[in-house]
Amino acid sequence: MGDLQWIHVAGPLAEGVVCEQGAQVCDWTPTEEAPVLFLSGASRMEPGQPIRGGIPVVFPWFGEDPERRGRPAHGFARRMPWRPLGTEEGPDGVRVGLELVDDEASLALWPHRFALRLHALFGAAFELRLEVENRGAAPFRCETALHTYLEVGDVRSVAIHGLGGAEYLDQLDGLRRVQEAGILRIDGETDRIYHGHEARVLVEDPEFRRTISIEKTGSRSTVVWNPWVEKTARLDDLDDEEWPMMLCVESGNIGEDALTLGPGEVHAMVVRLGLDRA
């Protein structure tokens, strides 16, 4: 099977790491700052296995196999090796590109011809662009997400701004539809899909004395996830004491926000992470 392949970025504005499997960004650390992305110390780092942390690319379905046929959770893109398209240094940072195109293995799981391209910019700010192209002769429907794991001082003390008024489906309560009241604080297992949500989210972190901003285009769903104690105990690639250090704020197009692309059509989603010091 061989080992995983990594792309290391060391620019004047930031350092970063991308795993070619899944085109998974595993680190973005702006110069003189602490890492912004969480990566579990217990993660499997094996070909074909998902990596716990960084920014997994979810495609072409979100969550469990929608057809209950035993296909992998969150789709296959995060488990497959992508092809590097090159690394380039510019005034705003270092750019890294990767591509995944349908092949026999993907067609066996999902019968559509496609190309995915991921472009990451590692600068004082971080930008990730995910393009989905339909290379087949018929339209297809797909779900996407950039499943961003943020590193936080203690998830119990962060304040999440920008979700107030939005409606979410509570994945822990039979997909009950609820309206978010205002600032979200995490005080238990949390797994919510906000639909029709395009606004900027701010994660205010008093322990780390910083605020992470998440801005996006081409994405109408936002997911907030923290596994808390019991679910972490069921995950063998997350240590029992790690859940307070992470918060997932994911940008995507899920469920009623899923994409339908006609032949030749390309959809782009862009996520920008920024860092403000308190």
- Contacting ligand BG6 (CB under 6 A), which of 27, 151, 180, 191? 191
Query: Is 76 or 225 the residue whose CB approaches ligand BG6 more closely?
Result: 225
Dist. CA 252–CA 221, nearest whole Å: 5
CB distance 275 to 269 below 8 Å: no
Q: Measured over all CA atoms, what is the biggest interatomic distance in the chain, rounded to whole angstroms?
A: 52
Binding mask 163-182 for ligand BG6 (x = CB under 6 A): --------x-----------
Binding mask 87-126 for ligand BG6 (x = CB under 6 A): ----------------------------------------
- Contacting ligand BG6 (CB under 6 A), which of 79, 119, 129, 147? 147
Q: How far is CA 214 from the centre of its chain?
A: 11
Comparing CA positions, the residue from 180, 209, 175, 196 lying closest to residue 63 is 175
- Contacting ligand BG6 (CB under 6 A), which of 143, 204, 215, 250? 250
Least distance in angstroms from the C-beta of 59 to ligand BG6: 13
Q: Using the rule CB under 6 A, is 79 a contact of ligand BG6? A: no
Please report, as residue ranges, which positions from 12 to 51 form the binding site for ligand BG6 (by CB under 6 A): 50
Q: Where are the beta strands (DSSP E) in 36-107?
A: 57-58, 83-90, 93-101
Residues linked to residue 9 through DSSP beta bridges, in sequence order: 16
Tokens of 257: 């926000």
Helix (H, G, I), strand (E, B) or coil at 176: strand
CB distance 29 to 124 below 8 Å: no
- How big is the site for ligand BG6, counted in residues (CB under 6 A)? 10
Q: Using the rule CB under 6 A, is 257 a contact of ligand BG6? A: no
Query: Site residues (CB under 6 A) for ligand BG6?
Result: 50, 63, 73-74, 147, 171, 191, 223, 225, 250
